[in-house]
Homo-oligomer: A and B are copies of this chain.
């Protein structure tokens, strides 16, 4: 049987099942942005890990080593943020092709260090090894949160409002610019910057986790059409999402219209925005949003609500439901593989490989 027949999440489910009888009180394993591991009476540790492989997750000639160092840590810090936790330390495993220059690695470490310093994340360990061909990076991060305060995907309740902490689609727009080698205009460079140097919403996640009204939370890594389904599955709910309410940056709107991009696809299935996607108690938006604005100088954005149902997203546009089958990224989807062609083949996390059937 080929892997695409069961898909990435089918494979993860398969593994989780194999290990379900190995469990321990206080430990939360597979199925959320981070694992939860007991710390002391007042706190828990959360732990996450992410593997980045050259030509799959990044193209070495398009991302600077400093950006790559930043991004390798950022995608993990974003998982820590999604739990409402504070990052404490990181572990860096790096597989390095023989011809790599020390200067390249120094720049990589500079980007990694700069983000580490911003959030006071220690470098606690790792592994260095040779790699045959592809630069290979695995980062693990350990964080801390108040005991029981970690926000899990399973915490959404009926009538919760679904919110995000920032624009969606910018990173996907940046990837389009890169893949089509569009000219380096100011706008295009800004989109590339969002793609290559995402800012994890650590402080936002910490703030939100202090609000009892905030329930399920995760980060947007594969696109909300996929990410939200994880919350819905874990919580046993469905959701109504208003496409018109998804926050879109002026730059993305402009560049997208210039090139005739499918903007809805970018904002629902683009992924890698690393903003937070969360649900909060239905009647609490005004108060929470006022506090959030005071803290961060910008507001939260309501994009829908949680309803009874079986892990289904009802997409609304112009006040009516649209049949809209968007799928976020799945590493082992054959349709996603086979749609790749030409240059796009060298990146797997590309929009061009995703299946975007739209049936109306």
Contacts and interface: CB of A to CB of B under 8 A. Distances in A.
B5 A132 contact: no
- Which of A16, A98, A125 is the most central at the interface, judged by chain B CB atoms within 10 Å of its CB? A125
B11 A102 contact: yes
A30 interface: yes
A359 interface: no
Contacts of A110: 18
A19 B122 contact: yes
A313 to B, nearest CB: 23
Contact of A124 (B4, B35, B39, B132): B35
A261 interface: no
A349 to B, nearest CB: 9
Given A48-B125, A49-B126, A331-B128, A120 B8 contact: no
A129 B89 CA distance: 23
Copies of this chain: 2
Contact of A125 (B30, B93, B94, B348): B30
A123 B40 contact: no
Given A27-B89, A123-B15, A123-B29, A136 B53 contact: yes
Given A2-B102, A27-B124, A35 B91 contact: yes
A21 to B, nearest CB: 9
A127 B50 contact: yes
Q: Interface size for chain A: under 10, 10 to 19, 20 to 34, or 35 or more residues?
A: 35 or more
A331 B130 contact: yes
A28 B89 CA distance: 10
Given A116-B22, A331-B128, A40 B39 contact: yes
A57 interface: yes
Nearest to A122: B22
A168 B217 CA distance: 50
A278 interface: no
B138 A49 contact: yes
18 contacts: A1-B102, A2-B99, A2-B101, A3-B105, A19-B123, A22-B122, A23-B122, A35-B91, A37-B89, A37-B124, A40-B41, A45-B45, A47-B125, A49-B91, A51-B93, A55-B132, A95-B136, A138-B138
